[in-house]
Amino acid sequence: MKKATNLRSLAAQLIERVVDKGESLSAILPGAQKTLADKDGALLQELCFGVMRTLPQLEALIGKLMERTLTGKQRVLHYLIMVGLYQLLYTRVPAHAALAETVAGAEVLKRTALKGLINGVLRQFQRQQEELVAAVDQGPQRYWHPGWLLKRLQTAWPDQWQQIVDANNQRPPMWLRVNRQHHNRDAWLNLLQAEDKAAFPADAPDALRLESPAPVSQLPGFDQGWVTVQDLSAQRCALLLEPQNHETILDLCAAPGGKTTHILEIAPQANVLAVDIDQQRLTRVHENLQRLGMQAEVRQGDGRTPAEWCGDQQFDRILLDAPCSATGVIRRHPDIKWLRRDRDIPELAALQREILNAVWPRLKSGGTMVYATCSILPEENHQQIAAFLAEHDDAVAEQLPEGQINGWQVFPSVDGGDGFFYAKLMKK
């Protein structure tokens, strides 16, 4: 009989790779899940995402439970203890099972001598849980965000930062986009309800929020392209772009292809060029186009050097979903909090500026560009667009429904979309 994988030790190793080595959880988790049963894969994801979400609190608790932090070759056990604490605090795993499996994880990690230490720390936490949690929740760690990000949010959004932080700390809702080429939203919703699943419409015409997340295999017609998983805020990009049939449209920074396919659902006869710098992620664009039975030209390229991938071609519309800090999608990718650094923000703003300036000449006169980010930081958003408008006499910003003159900032909300920014620019 095959020996069961110890999920706690696996989670501890993955968390160490993210926090200490700067790897992305969404890049390394699927590989670890491949060999696991669905149920085990889901638990592994819950442990990794959960620890990422609550890291400052867990760090502070360990600080109170241990005199010295584990370092060097023992560092992975620091994260194993976190996995143990997270289970005791936030999961339905029975305490005895959480303890036994976490302690067994030390053996798998070939640190048998430290099993007693891990057992002792976790049992002490159980005895003093209430007072320990109350003590650490007095400090800034109760917000579960790194200090630099908290400071930026407080400075930028003095009235909203708490609501932003609260939303970032939630589990994300699952949003769907119904393919209007097959069904309208209500017709597909009827098919879903026939499967005993509930979903709620939103202000975007194709958007539905599932009452509770479900595997795509349970969504009617997913393999036939009837529906796509895409957050509500991401859906607004193609809607604001307003693509028309027979137009030439550029989707820049297109991977994994959710917005490319949405453009083609709205305007199936549009000529779409999807470009991304990451060759590996472009395979996802091809997969999405294939599943939906759509055609687009897909090229690898750097937004800063358009001549290399489109010569002197011009476009009727451009969607630029710019590389950004991803601070609006933290609830989906809690590791962002620990992968980003304060110094990244001016660097990202400089990159966005470079791409904007490089690609603007590719927009035809009378054309439309939508600039979007999944960020909630003004340097990447309103300030970026204000500076661009000041430098380009031929650019005019359209007033968006709920936005200021140079853009619309959306904050993440519990039952709403992710944090996003949009600016709609017309070329004179």
* Catalytically active residues, by annotation: 374
Question: What Rg do the C-alpha atoms of the chain give, in angstroms?
Answer: 23
Query: Which residues are 296's β-sheet partners?
Result: none
Alpha-carbon distance values, 112 to 9, 102, 104, 414, 427 (Å): 12, 12, 8, 42, 66
Q: Tell whether the torsion through CA atoms of 404, 380, 166 and 197 is positive or negative.
A: positive
Contact between 268 and 292 under an 8 Å Cβ cutoff? The reply is: no
Kindly write down the DSSP assignment for every residue of 243-272, as one continuous string: --TT-EEEEES-TT-HHHHHHHHH-TT-EE
> Is 56 in a helix, a strand, or coil?
helix
Cα atoms found within 13 Å of the Cα of residue 124, Cβ hemisphere only: 14
- Alpha-carbon distance of 265 to 99, in angstroms, equals 50
Closest CA to 317 of 226, 196, 424: 424
Tokens of 317: 């519309």
Tokens of 103: 């302690």
- Alpha-carbon distance of 278 to 283, in angstroms, equals 9
Which are the contacts of 399, defined by CB distance < 8 A and separation ≥ 6?
A: 405
- Alpha-carbon distance of 122 to 93, in angstroms, equals 14
Which are the contacts of 110, defined by CB distance < 8 A and separation ≥ 6?
A: none
- Alpha-carbon distance of 220 to 222, in angstroms, equals 6
Q: Tell whether the torsion through CA atoms of 236, 237, 240 and 245 is positive or negative.
A: negative
Q: Which residue has the tokens 């959306």?
A: 410
